[in-house]
Amino acid sequence: MSHDLFEAARGAMAFAHAPYSKFPVGAAIRAEDGKIYTGANVENLSFPQGWCAEPTAISHMIMGGAKKIVEMAVIAEKLPLCPPCGGCRQKIAEFASKETRIYLCDEAGVKKTMTMDEMLPFSFETEMLG
Buried b (16+ CB within 10 A) or exposed e, 67-76: eebbbbbbbb
- Answer yes or no: are the C-beta atoms of 90 and 124 closer than 8 Å: yes
Contacts of 8 (CB under 8 A, 6+ apart): 26, 28, 36, 38, 73
**43 an active-site residue?**
no
Catalytic residue among 7, 32, 43, 54: 54
Catalytic residues: 54
